[in-house]
Chains A and B, each alone.
Chain A
């Protein structure tokens, strides 16, 4: 028994429940916010360490042996994702202290974030397909509520699309789970990995795989299913955007990695070829969307889409190195993307706008902020020696080795266009002088921002930037981790044996 596997779910659940009970005291909620996410971070790091040293950990809920009860499974991918979720949660919890308004606190901001994290961690750790659906719903409803906090017009418009399209995705997932049970009579992933190949009509398995592909594709924001994301991600408070940007789509990506390595690896020539096309178009459409926009959060939102393409590309190439690249890329991306939103938030609190045409002059007045922007921005664009370069390098190398020239070309060109939009933000917000017509507002915002608030905002940003630099310069341990994770993913016997305790 490994109780640490359940802790990343239990801790935010308790923190969320406590925040609800103390809903009248905002101070208590803030404390619970920081302490709860801090505890989650520690628990998840312990989990990752134990998973790395002891192999895949399994927790049979209710003491019912797999495949009959629900199991929580921590393999390296799951544990890595959990740690990343916890890092995000902790960083955003600190960032929220000065940036979340009293209204939002009064209407459940803190319990919602805890439960969002619980849902995300649950999705990463569960070893049961229906349970995955439940976690996805938990994080989805939490995100719905976070998205509309504030009740502005844009939030409402964005939320309607977000809710409707994500519900569609959930229903497809539910449908696929139902069909899976109808096909195999089991819900446990490891058991499915054993029983799916025994299904007589393998074509039907591929058909069900397609339903999962669409459902997770919507969640991941892949082409041509991503519409909900650019429609809504720029509307909530920036801390929420950062949390969403770092985590939500990655649940979809994680699920794709899990399902298309463990369960659907019987017809790689077909399913993964489809994924490859999907990844190419995802990269292109996302990056072009970003090139079109002039609002920081919209640019960043579209880049989420395009970056998802790189991760899926790693999965789609399906060579050991490519999977390593995919996992590495996910690690790098979550940190960098969330950080960019956080920096965008600081820009907003200093200038009063996210519109690039209305702001400027930050390099002159806040050079350190410029550096803190450049680190994640250049990393996102894949420039060395930051984390993004190594992620991209692994994936490109895998593509070259597989002689998939088309996707390599796309990945390279999209990298250049990513640089283009990051530089756009840099040149406009930092290099350009502050446009005079908006100078008054900018000055007023900069005056009202207290030093203490600014420090609390910079703290998580600097920490995440340091991680970006570390993943770049010290890529070896991260690579080893990704390599070990990929090895587990590609050889499903590890997983099956850990869960079912038998050799298939």
Chain B
């Protein structure tokens, strides 16, 4: 399944970059959301996929029964998801606000700070 997931993650990365390259700021943000998801899934995948062995310790035992899925990447991904949420909430409101100020959805018309 890792191999298949590798392609899924690749597709997510490709789709997100493609979205970010569009001129609309909305698509830019959707691309960012996809990108964040893609990276999370990548971490989850590269540390190995395990079916049906959540890292929970049953009552009366001190180790999960019958092996476990690596809990550390899960914790990392969880942190990353939450951070991603915070950042993207900001980004979403930012483009909203930017649209109100600039009255443009087109990134090509937002060049005044560079030139």
Contacts and interface: CB of A to CB of B under 8 A. Distances in A.
Interface of A: 130, 133-134, 137, 140-141, 144-145, 148, 151-154, 156-161, 163-164, 167-168, 170-171, 174-175, 177-179, 181-182, 187, 227, 230-232, 234-235
Contacts of A151: 97, 101
Interface SS of A by simple majority = helix
Contacts of A157: 98, 102, 110-113
Contact of B20 (A164, A181, A234): A164
Contacts of B5: none
Nearest to B41: A178
A181 B43 contact: yes
A132 to B, nearest CB: 12
Contact of B73 (A137, A140, A161, A181): A181
A181 B44 CA distance: 10
Nearest to A173: B39
B97 A178 contact: no
B72 interface: yes
Interface in B67-107: 72-73, 76, 79-80, 83, 86-87, 90-91, 94-95, 97-98, 101-102, 107
Given A160-B25, A178-B73, A148 B94 contact: yes
B46 interface: yes
Contacts of B76: 130, 177-178, 181
Contacts of A179: 42, 46
A177 B76 CA distance: 10
A133 B36 CA distance: 14
B46 A178 contact: yes
A134 B94 contact: no
A159 B112 contact: no
B107 A160 contact: yes
Given A156-B101, A159-B98, A168 B35 contact: yes
A154 B47 contact: no
Nearest to A153: B101
A325 to B, nearest CB: 32
Interface of B: 20, 25, 28, 32, 35-36, 38-40, 42-43, 46-48, 72-73, 76, 79-80, 83, 86-87, 90-91, 94-95, 97-98, 101-102, 107, 110-114
Nearest to A156: B98
Contacts of B107: 160
Given A164-B20, A174-B43, A178-B47, A156 B90 contact: no
Given A156-B94, A178-B73, A164 B101 contact: no
Contacts of B73: 178, 181
B35 A171 contact: yes
A237 B61 CA distance: 58
Contact of B32 (A130, A164, A175, A230): A164
The 8 closest A-B pairs by CB, nearest first: A178-B43, A182-B46, A156-B98, A157-B110, A158-B113, A171-B39, A174-B39, A157-B113
Interface centre among B73, B101, B113 (most CB of A within 10 A): B113
25 contacts: A130-B76, A141-B86, A144-B87, A148-B97, A151-B101, A152-B101, A153-B101, A154-B112, A156-B110, A157-B102, A157-B111, A157-B112, A160-B98, A160-B107, A163-B94, A164-B91, A167-B36, A171-B36, A174-B39, A177-B76, A178-B42, A179-B42, A181-B43, A181-B47, A182-B47
B71 to A, nearest CB: 12
Contacts of B114: 161, 227, 230-231
Contacts of A181: 43, 46-47, 72-73, 76
A137 B25 contact: no
A177 B113 contact: no
Contacts of A161: 113-114
B87 A167 contact: yes
Nearest to A167: B32
Contact of B102 (A156, A182, A231): A156
Q: Which of A141, A145, A156, A230 has the most CB of B within 10 A?
A: A156
Given A151-B101, A178-B42, A144 B112 contact: no
Contacts of A171: 35-36, 38-39
Contacts of B102: 153, 156-157
